[in-house]
A and B are shown apart, each in its own frame.
Chain A
Amino acid sequence: MGSVLRSSETDTQFVPVGDPTRRLPGVEGVWVFVIADMTVFAVLFGSFIIGRHQNPGLFEGSRHALNPNFGGVNTLILLTSSWFAALALDAVRKSRFVLAQRLIGGAFLCGLAFMVSKAIEYTEKLNAGISLLTNDFFMYYFTLTGIHLFHVVAGNVVLLVLWFMARSRSFDPQRPVVLECGAIYWHMVDLIWIILFPLLYLVR
């Protein structure tokens, strides 16, 4: 009887896996989504580097029109946003909902800062007469950063929902699944940019 009770308690807190000392963060579904999304990006990265291989002169020349300061600062912004999300998860697990709400708010503001920076960067390019149609390099630049930006916008909507959930203390400190899933998605947006930024701006 005792073992039955213990097993059911475990089931409510952990996703059952082979090794009881390990646990799956979030739920399986979010990992399926995240890995599928990462695979699509892997194909896009491969497509870009093969395009560069076929026309190195054009890609290297066009790369010089990009400002690495934007890319670098955007990386620092997303890393900090991810850090806030990780700290928020830790705070919820300790039932510190006010702190968690502030940290999620910080992650959200970093996401907004990324969007503003990207808007300035795009405007600068368009004003210089550079668009999606300029050449293959800029087709990749606008497409890849555009798809990524869409993920940032979606992530900010998720963070806004999580902020309201933290305010109403809707998370279970024992197992805050929704917050874990949201954080996993947000970290994925961060790690995609960690590769996309050097690939577009720095590889020479």
Chain B
Amino acid sequence: MEQVRKPVSIVWAALMLATCASTWLLSKNSVTPEVATMAIMLIAAVKVRLVIRYFMEVRLAPLALRLVCDGWLLAVTALIVTVYLV
């Protein structure tokens, strides 16, 4: 039971809930395509950052690695969202 109280376990639960929200709630037709797509991609970006920081332990890593990881995520998210919106 001690495994459940660890930060990685709380992060895992949040990631599972966010996945369910993206897959089975936001994909419904009651949400407009633009709002749903933006929300889904932003949720994906937050999920990736949680995986990088907590699972890959980058939150404890030197600044250079944290910058490279955040830079990659920012570039990918900005590229997808910008091309989608134009």
Which of chain A's residues has its CB closest to B3's CB?
A87
Partner of A184, one of B47, B56, B76, B79: B56
A79 vs B51: C-alpha distance when bound (angstroms): 9
- Tell whether, in the assembled complex, residue B22 and residue A31 are in contact, meaning their CB atoms are under 8 Å apart: no
A6 at the interface (CB under 8 A from B): no
| Given A25-B60, A53-B86, A75-B40 contact (CB < 8 Å) | no
A177 at the interface (CB under 8 A from B): no
Chain B interface, >50% SS class: helix
Partner of B79, one of A23, A46, A80, A83: A46
- By a CB distance below 8 angstroms, the chain B residues around A71 are 23
**Residues on B facing A (Cβ under 8 Å):** 3, 6, 8-9, 12, 15-16, 19-20, 22-24, 26-27, 33, 36-37, 40-41, 44, 47-48, 51-52, 54-58, 60-63, 65, 68, 72, 75-76, 79-80, 83-84, 86
Partner of A25, one of B19, B47, B58, B68: B58
| Given A25-B56, A49-B79, A76-B19, A191-B37 contact (CB < 8 Å) | no
18 contacts between A and B (CB under 8 A): A22-B60, A23-B60, A25-B58, A38-B72, A53-B84, A69-B23, A76-B20, A80-B12, A82-B12, A86-B8, A87-B8, A87-B9, A183-B56, A191-B51, A194-B44, A202-B22, A202-B26, A203-B37
Given contacts A25-B61, A87-B8, list 8 more A-B pairs with CB under 8 A: A42-B75, A52-B84, A71-B23, A72-B24, A76-B20, A82-B51, A85-B55, A191-B52
Q: Per-position contact with B for A38-61: 1 when CB-CB < 8 Å, else 0?
A: 110010011001101100000000
Partner of B55, one of A50, A52, A86, A195: A86
Q: How large is the interface on A (under 10, 10 to 19, 20 to 34, 35 or more residues)?
A: 35 or more
A18 at the interface (CB under 8 A from B): yes
Partner of A79, one of B19, B22, B41, B80: B19
